[in-house]
Chains A and B, each alone.
Chain A
């Protein structure tokens, strides 16, 4: 085989699950020494394809060839032994174990501890991946965790490395470090299959891209020679209008957060340190930053699920620090947490029942403790109609809805209650582009009616699009608020990387 030939050839791979055709005769050629992108929205079938290549899932039909030899991995171990490595987005590290133990678990042949340590140090210095072996993984940052995954993968001398959404948890600084490593690797002859839905980064480092939509390959192209809008259109399939932001006059102050602090009982939890913020009626504050920097805790402190160890909260000049979840909700402080299934909604309950979770008191779904399911069903029907939730109806179980539709329902459930303050974490995470745009529009409309809104998101573009004021939440600390329209990308990168200057 020549230097520029194909290393992995995928031909007509299909995989069907009872509810969905995840891969529909997908073909793809991966070339030697290239960083090649696999693009697509959530649910396009990228993950399934990658799992097939890594041996975690067996295809229903189709063939794969590795160096012209038929390739049919029996499992991840088999795939690794044939030179296919994978860096996971999440799901593959063990928090309570040390870095060294985590690396050992990803290897297939057991080496002397000394020998292995030497190898690890060699690899990490060669590619500039610094790491300390005795640390417990649960205490490490996302970037450090990813380094472990990469080292673990490199120790096996793979010919192909698959990276699943590698930058979704990284700060901009960490992303550029990663790109340096990837470029080094590809120069040394390794082929990298890079999965993402972020167009800009793919245009920076990939020279070939395969775009998937609904289980099929829709286009192969060179991302550096084609515009981002064009790629986006291919990914989504349809064009849609982006939300319109109208100029809103900001009103009276409605929420004041003073020195809010929180000390978690979980050893790997994120403490919140002295957080200060003022929110006004009709204002949207965007809280940026990589997930796992205290975002979930911040929302829970505002919703009342967590009790602060220090500090105070004022709603329209009234001290609400000591109020519980229900009391705060009755005041009009509503929220929508990030995790849809299990936190915002209960998977095995109907939408009607899911309405009760947050709307019972405010929407009077019960009388003297007794629930009125008719009113609840009516409310659910209204939410479905208002946000155009695609579902069989209010009796459908929450888990039967697609991610985007459930997210619309969860957010709609709060919007319909006329919140005075609305706090939402990752409103469009894992949601298809059309639904995301409609959710953003709903948030903007809500602000127009005078609601003070806090949007927590890792999607900086989203925050730039809809928020008036921007803060970064990093390591449980909040940067001082800045006007969104005065921000430039480098300033933004700085804020996200190390917040407090």
Chain B
């Protein structure tokens, strides 16, 4: 029999070790997955988790990639984590990411080929506004009509994808592109591009931004009234109301923050690594960021590490694909598994569990949460 009781006081050790346990479990089960595909599990795990950083052959390419892929994941996950803490479930970050890219891209392309310093900042602003705009739809519907933000934000991903497709074959298409879909390459337009700041480091403005965001939001979450109110709503909505928290304001804030950060991530991706707007611009960062947010235990510092780890699975996954022809989808399974293990080990953190083999046993109280 399983006995489960809320812990009287939370354990910091477990807070940190639960994600580590989840990662180890994922490696073990992932190993079985690779084994079942006829691959050497040890080699695969080494390729995914070790070689991108340490191998002399691969790391030169992989290390910069690690940062490039981690930046959008961290930015988006940071925003999502605030909402998740308050039980506001924005799962449409992918759509907000696309809209951020489209807004900023439209600005950049409209001003092409003007050479001016203000274009890049203006595009950042455009990215933020695009993301916020898309996130405000579920926010306002939730406030006005109490509409479920999960479903609305998700539906808007599909809508955004259609707009993206439309944009890349019509209004944003490169006029000199011989009719192929896709916009001009913004990374080749100096006023609008987001180049690597240090050669071969992968570090671009977006990477710097994501680090700044981690520091700023850690402080904000711990010390600002809003950070406290977000925790309050998530843990005890009635107490939040009693305290005088304006729930609608928090809904707007959380969705706005996650939308804005997703939009800015889209902007940096567009102007740097991706370069141009095309049908296949989005690669699922908005969804993977959900895993990152949970893996980081919804804390900015945790998310920093989680983002790097998740980026590692992408980069290492590519290596594994290249070296062992393990399909990219296997990495997606791997990531999904990680989230499951993480959610399951969460029980360890907030609850005391004891196993008892005797039959004379049962749980004291039924508690619901």
Contact = CB atoms under 8 A, between A and B. Distances in A.
* Direct chain A–B contact by Cβ atoms under 8 Å: yes
Contact of B243 (A19, A61, A325, A348): A325
A397 B239 contact: no
9 contacts: A18-B3, A58-B362, A60-B360, A324-B244, A343-B236, A346-B236, A347-B236, A397-B9, A397-B10
B238 interface: yes
B220 to A, nearest CB: 9
For chain A, which range describes its interface: under 10, 10 to 19, 20 to 34, or 35 or more residues?
35 or more
A12 to B, nearest CB: 14
B236 A342 contact: yes
Given A303-B242, A357-B243, 10 more contacts: A22-B364, A48-B364, A304-B244, A305-B241, A325-B243, A326-B244, A343-B236, A343-B242, A357-B242, A396-B9
A418 B236 CA distance: 26
A358 interface: yes
A370 B225 contact: yes
Given A342-B236, A343-B238, A370-B224, A400 B9 contact: yes
A358 B242 contact: yes
Interface string B325-369: 000000000000000000000000010101000011111100000
A297 interface: no
Given A60-B360, A346-B236, A369 B224 contact: yes
Contacts of B242: 303, 305, 325, 337, 343-344, 357-358
Contacts of A369: 224-226
Interface in B294-327: none
Contacts of B361: 58, 60
A342 B354 contact: no
Nearest to B360: A58
B362 A56 contact: yes
Interface string A311-335: 0000000000000111001000000
B354 to A, nearest CB: 7
Contacts of B354: 18
A18 B352 contact: yes
Contacts of B228: 353, 356, 371
A348 B225 contact: no
Contacts of A396: 8-9
B6 interface: yes
Contacts of A348: 10, 235, 350
Contacts of A337: 242
Interface in B6-58: 6, 8-10
A459 B352 CA distance: 36
Interface string A397-417: 101100000000000000000
Interface of B: 3, 5-6, 8-10, 223-226, 228, 231-232, 235-236, 238-239, 241-244, 350, 352, 354, 359-364
A57 interface: yes
Nearest to A343: B238
Contacts of B226: 369
B9 A360 contact: no
A392 B315 CA distance: 48
Contact of A342 (B3, B224, B238, B244): B238
Interface of A: 17-19, 22, 48, 56-61, 303-305, 324-326, 329, 337, 339, 342-349, 353, 356-358, 360, 366, 369-371, 396-397, 399-400
A305 to B, nearest CB: 5
A339 B242 CA distance: 11
Of B225, B231, B242, B350, chain A has the most CB atoms within 10 Å of the CB of B242
B238 A397 contact: no
B221 to A, nearest CB: 11
Instruction: Return the 9 tightest CB-CB contacts between A and B, nearest first.
Output: A325-B244, A326-B244, A400-B8, A357-B243, A346-B236, A343-B238, A369-B225, A342-B236, A58-B362
A403 to B, nearest CB: 13
Contacts of A397: 8-10
A323 to B, nearest CB: 11
A371 B9 contact: no
A355 to B, nearest CB: 11
Contacts of A356: 228, 243
Nearest to A354: B239
Contacts of A346: 232, 235-236, 239
A366 B362 CA distance: 45
A110 B362 CA distance: 28
A301 B232 CA distance: 21
A60 B3 CA distance: 14
A349 B224 contact: no
A397 B9 CA distance: 6
B348 to A, nearest CB: 15
A17 B364 contact: yes
B91 to A, nearest CB: 25
Of B6, B8, B226, chain A has the most CB atoms within 10 Å of the CB of B8
A58 to B, nearest CB: 5
A346 B242 CA distance: 11
A455 to B, nearest CB: 18
A366 B225 CA distance: 8
Contacts of B225: 360, 366, 369-371
Given A56-B362, A353-B228, A400-B8, A339 B238 contact: yes
A342 B369 CA distance: 10
Contact of A371 (B8, B223, B244, B360): B223
B293 to A, nearest CB: 19
B224 to A, nearest CB: 6
B243 to A, nearest CB: 4
B352 A343 contact: no
Contacts of B9: 396-397, 400
Nearest to A358: B243
Contacts of A329: 244
B227 to A, nearest CB: 8
Contacts of B360: 58-61
Nearest to A372: B223
A40 to B, nearest CB: 17
Contacts of B3: 18
Nearest to A337: B242
A305 B242 CA distance: 6
Nearest to B232: A346
Given A342-B238, A343-B236, A371 B224 contact: yes
Nearest to B6: A399
